[in-house]
Each structure stands twice: as structure tokens, then as C-alpha cells.
Amino acid sequence: MITREPFEYPENASRLECLVLAARESMADTGRAVLLGVRAIRMLPDLRRPKARAEFMRQMYICGIESLPVITVVALFTGMILAFQTGIELRRYNQEVYIGSAVMVSMLREMAPFITGLILGACVGSAMAAQLGTMTVNDEIAALEIMSIDPVRFLVTPRMAAMMIMTPILSFYTCMLGTLGGGVIGTTQLNVPWAQYMSNAMEFARAKELFVGLVKALIYGIIITTISCNEGLTATQGAVGVGQATRRAVIISFLLVLIVGYFVTRFFY
Amino acid sequence: MIRFEHIVKRLAGRNVLDDLSFEIRKGEVFVIVGPSGTGKSVTLKHMVQLLRPTSGTVWLGDESVSDADGRDLERLRERFGYLFQGGAMLGWLTVAENVALPLEEKTDLPEDEIAKRVHEALEMVDLEDAADQYPAEISGGMQKRAGLARAIVRRPEIVLYDEPTSGLDPVTARTIDRLIQHLNRDLGVTSVVVTHDMQGALSIGHRVAMLHGGRFVEVATPKAFAASACPEVQQFLEAQYITRGNFFVEGGTK
Ligand SMILES: Nc1ncnc2c1ncn2[C@@H]1O[C@H](COP(=O)(O)OP(=O)(O)OP(=O)(O)O)[C@@H](O)[C@H]1O
Ligand SMILES: [Mg+2]
């Protein structure tokens, strides 16, 4: 699961052989990532140990509290933009009252987990990849292995648990703030009274939408942790390698958040 | 005790280790010297399967290290202490917590026993004062000594030292040399020391080996090593102002 050597093509391989090898290597890498995620989740019960809990709490703080400011701003503005955009259209039919439901539903189902995923991918995932990558190239991971301390249990599991708890919470928080932001635009720009906006929003807030949103957020949390930790643990070749690992972690997380988001929505509707 | 059998290791498009065979005896201090980038760290990493050979086998006693996995590998690794070239301390733990880590995670020792052993280990490397500092707050040489404390705190049977004295002032370097000797003589720790420091190598080693071009070009007792006719060895010795057959040993010139 942890590689310490960069992947190499044999010297006299033809283009075609290289292509085949590259495809095989990327599949192997995907397999390693999935395995890493599964192992980290299977070791979640280990967090009951008091010694493991300290690290878990630290990770909760890092991905929850430290990303709160940026999430707050993005959530408010997303709600405001959503309300404004839909409001302009709805005004043509004199239906501005419905912005409440428009904001609420798109926030619950799609936008809140999406924003949470992107922000946590960018802030927390990149930090995970950079930290684990630095530890890998500095032999710190090797040192753990020599001490027979499983790096997955010791490093990945607490991060996984923290993300699995924090993404749904932050997604819900994003949703509430987005709705609030929409309400502000509604009352100040679109002449929709606050009470009317809220009652309209609450009327369309179904448990199912909330559920789908939270499930999505949870899946995003698992994906981001798995990808970022895998990239970090497979970093090679010093500082350059850490940079590449971080870059790849963010890109792959973003793409997967987009693609998986679509398929989860498809699955439920 | 540790036996390399025709080890070939291919890295970055070349054979870093090229048909390397040797054996380290139980209770010995085996010193490996050689120019930068010849694969000394790579050799050490093979002893605990941090790297696997491209071909060949590494043996510990009659068990194969290169093929071990799972519980077997864990059991093999538990016999080793490893001082990494860069210290490899975990950044978010203090020096004392770092040193305590292998005991905390892998033993059921009570807290006060752990604290006692950590203190002992830190005392050995003369680092009690830095116990509550974080690795980023102490110097490179201190980090290396902290790494050494962590390597020996579990009282392993074999300790692998990757450049234990580089980056240390000469006085501290000699202290570390004496510590390696003490562990070896009084506790019977088999030691493998990678170093650039020929003075240290010749004074603490039972045998000294010179790695060059993926193989040992010379393996000999310090005395014979210093008198070696091998050109690479001579070059290496001369570069450190050690003339043939005449070197400083603890307590006098031989
Ligand atoms: N993980 C790795 N991936 C790719 N190449 C590596 C890896 N580790 C070592 N190498 C290569 O193997 C060679 C030997 O490296 P090694 O670290 O063993 O040198 P060294 O003898 O310990 O040198 P130094 O005295 O500078 O520590 C180097 O040329 C290096 O490029
Ligand atoms: Mg080295």
C-alpha cells in the first residue's frame, strides 16, 4: 500500500508497451487507494482507545473548526447568488415568493454538499496530502513501520473519522447559511418578506432532500480523505514529489466530487 | 546474523546495489562507509524491508526478511531499532512523546515505567533538556539524537544507525560513538553503522566495509582497512587526513 519507489518504465519498452504499463499502473494505484479507504474505515473502532482519541480530536478541529470561516463566506454568497439568479427569472412571472423553495431545495440536495466537498478538498485534503507526503519522503512513515505502528491506523483512520463526521455537519451548516443568505437577498432586493421566504423554504424542505445531501457529503468526506492520504503516502522524490502529490490530490478530489455527486443524485431520483 | 545474498536493487534506472553479498555477525559493530549516493541508506533499508530487493534475498538468522509479511514482518522489525538519516521525528509530538511512541503504542507498560525509560533514553543522548520541545524547535543534530533515543528506547537486539554523527559537533559526535560502543559492549546490541566519519568508523567498528559501485570493495578490520591497498579506500581515507595504518583510537594513537 505504501510505495517508496517511483514507477519506472523498462528502458527498451516501446510506446505501446509504455501505454499498457501506464494503464496498468494507474489501475493498480486506484486499487491501492480503494484498499486504503476500506482499511481506514475498518479500523474505525480503534478510535475507542484513549491514545487514538487525541489525534482524532485534533483532526476534528482541523477539518471542522478551521474551515468554518471560508465555508461561512462561501455558503452565504452561494445562497445570495442562487436567490438573486432565480429571483430575476421568477420576477418575470411575478413568482418571487418561490425563491425560498428554489434556494432551499438546491442547497439541500446539491449545492451544500458540493460546496463542502470542494472547500474541504481544497483546504483539508490538500493539507493531508502535503503532510503525509512530507512524512513519507522524510522517512517518518518508514519510522512508524519499523516501530510496527500501522500508518493507516495511526494517521489515516483519525482523519477518515473526522471527515466522516464533519462533512455532513458542515454540509448542513452550509445549507442553513445559504438559505439565510438567500433570505437576505429576498427581503432587501426582491421585496419578498422574510416570513414568507422562510415559510416557502420550509414547506419544500423534505427529509429526503436532506438525507440525500448528507449522504453525499459523507461520501465526499470518504473520497477526499482516501484520495489525499493515498497521494500523500505514495509520494516519492522529495519536495517535488510532495508538490505533485498535493496537486493530484486536489484535482482528483474535485473531479470525483463532481462525478460522484451526479451519480448519487441519479441514484436517488 | 544478517546476511545479504546476491542483492540487486534497481532504482532510478540503475543498479544501486549490484550483486551485494555479505554477512553481519551477532554482537558486532559493522560499519559501512562510502561516497554520497552509493546506496548506503538503501542497504540499511533492505534489512528491515523498507525496500525490497529486485533480486536476491536478505536473511535474518534463518528467516527471509525480503519475503516476510504480516505478523512475521512485524516480529522481525520489532528486533530492530532504526536511526533514520534525517531523524524522522513526528512534527506534532514533543521529543519525549516521540521517544515514548513505540512504548505507548506497542507495549502494555504502565505510564511511569514508560516515563522512566524515556528519560533514560534521553539521558543517554544528552537531551533531557529538550524533552518538551517540538522537533521543529530543536537543531538538526538534536533531532538526530532524539531519533537515536527513539531507536534504542525499546531495547532492540539490533540497531541500524544511518549517519548517527553527521551534523554533530566533534565532541557530541564522540559521545554518540561511545554510546554506540556502550550499547554494543554492555547490552550486546548488534550494530550496523553507516557513516562518512572515518575517525569514528575506525575507532568503533569491528569491521569496516566500503560500498562502491553497488558492492563492497573492501571489508576488513579497522587496522586492515586503514592499510588497504584498494584505491577507493585510500582516496576516502586521504580525504579525511588519515594516513595509511595510522589513525586515532579512543585513548591514543595506534
Ligand atoms: N526511494 C527511492 N526512489 C528512487 N531512487 C532512490 C530512492 N532511494 C534512493 N534512491 C537512489 O539510490 C541511490 C542511493 O541512495 P542512498 O540514499 O542509499 O545513498 P547514500 O549512500 O545513503 O548517500 P548519502 O551518504 O548521501 O546518504 C541514489 O542515487 C538515489 O537516487
Ligand atoms: Mg544515506
CB B206 within 8 A of CB B29: yes
Residue B94 lies in a domain: no
Residue B153 lies in a domain: no
Partner residue facing A4 (CB), from B51, B78, B154: B51
Residue A75 lies in a domain: yes
Q: What is the pLDDT of residue A263?
A: 93
Residue A8 lies in a domain: no
CB B236 within 8 A of CB B214: no
* Number of domains present in the structure of chain B: 1
Partner residue facing A4 (CB), from B50, B85, B101: B50
Q: What is the pLDDT of residue B82?
A: 93
From first to last of its 254 residues, chain B has per-residue pLDDT tens of: 899 999 999 988 889 999 999 999 999 999 999 988 899 999 999 999 999 999 999 999 888 988 888 889 988 999 999 999 888 999 999 999 999 999 988 888 888 999 999 999 999 888 889 889 999 999 888 898 899 999 999 889 999 999 998 888 888 888 889 999 999 998 899 999 999 888 888 989 999 999 998 899 999 998 888 888 888 888 888 887 776 555 555 444 44
- Buried/exposed code over B85-117 (b: 16+ C-beta within 10 A; e: otherwise): bbbbbbeeebbbbbbbbbbebeeeeeeeebeeb
Ligand nearest to the CA of B84: 2
Rounded to the nearest angstrom, the distance between the alpha carbon of B210 and the centre of ligand 1 is 16
- Determine contact: A24 vs chain B, CB below 8 A: no
Strands B14-24 and B2-11: antiparallel
Residue B59 lies in a domain: yes
Residue B212 lies in a domain: yes
- Determine contact: A29 vs chain B, CB below 8 A: no
Q: What is the pLDDT of residue A116?
A: 93
Domain span including residue A145: 15-268
The Cα–Cα gap between A27 and A161 comes to: 26
Residue B204 lies in a domain: yes
The Cα–Cα gap between A30 and A7 comes to: 14
* CB spacing of A8 vs B78 below 8 angstroms: no
Residue B108 lies in a domain: no
- ipTM (interface predicted TM): 0.87
- Buried/exposed code over A178-204 (b: 16+ C-beta within 10 A; e: otherwise): bbbbbbbbbbeebebeeebbbebbeee
User: pLDDT tens digits, residue range A61-95?
Assistant: 998 899 999 999 999 999 999 999 999 888 889 88
The grid coordinates of residue B61 equal: 538468522
The Cα–Cα gap between A158 and A60 comes to: 9
Pocket, ligand 1, Cβ cutoff 6 A:
A 4-6, 236; B 11-12, 16, 34, 36-42, 85
Name the minimum distance, in Å, from the CA of A42 to any CA of chain B.
17
Write out residues 43-72 of A within 8 Å (CB-CB) of B: 51, 58
Strands B207-212 and B29-33: parallel
Please name the residues in contact with A119: beta carbons below 8 A apart, sequence gap of 6 or more: A67, A70, A71, A74
CB B86 within 8 A of CB B167: no
Rounded to the nearest angstrom, the distance between the alpha carbon of B168 and the centre of ligand 1 is 22
CB B45 within 8 A of CB B7: no
Name the minimum distance, in Å, from the CA of B250 to any CA of chain A.
32
Domain span including residue B71: 1-79+158-163+189-248
* Residue B44: φ, ψ to 5°: -60, -45
